[in-house]
Structure 1
Amino acid sequence: MFHRLRQALAAGGKSNPTAGSYSASAADKSARRYIIVFKPHVTQEQIEDYISSVQKQGGTVTHRYDIIKGFAANLGPEALSNLQSLQGNIVESIGEC
């Protein structure tokens, strides 16, 4: 999956950085950076809802991708666990970067 992301970005795909969000939440120093890729049927509105949920759990979104349905974020254990529970139906892959 991440090979496909690299190819898409190299071919001119866009990665939209989210301003001022490149460090883990001060409250959660255990946060790590992940790329979350959603299944093709997931709508942009649903992705925005998941982004909002991640932010409410202390996560920080660093990039939103428009070639693939996904985003990069600094996630603490709770936010990561919640996204992992969606793998299979909603989330295609979660990779640490």
Structure 2
Amino acid sequence: MLTIVNLIFQVLGWVVSAYIMLIVVYALMSWLPGAYQSKLGQFIGRLVEPFLSYFNFISVGPLGFGPVVAIIVLSLVQYGLQYLQYIVLSLLV
């Protein structure tokens, strides 16, 4: 039972980490001309843009800080999952 719960929390942590990496790649694609129009860019855009749309209101002039805030929020979620894993595993032992 403990290993299944531990595995579930580890997989959730990996998913959040992978999504953070997708956001970083998506943000770095803005530096490359035509990167958003490639097949990979369109695929990453379909995965990342719905979540980033919640944070697009944060900008200073032409600079948008939505990806930075989204990464901070996902990092907090990741730390919350780790804490929840600690609580659940301590209750099961």
Fold match by TM threshold 0.5? no
The answer to which structure has the higher strand fraction is: 1
TM range (shorter): under 0.3
Higher helix share: 2
Larger Rg: 2
- TM-score of the pair, normalised by structure 1: 0.22
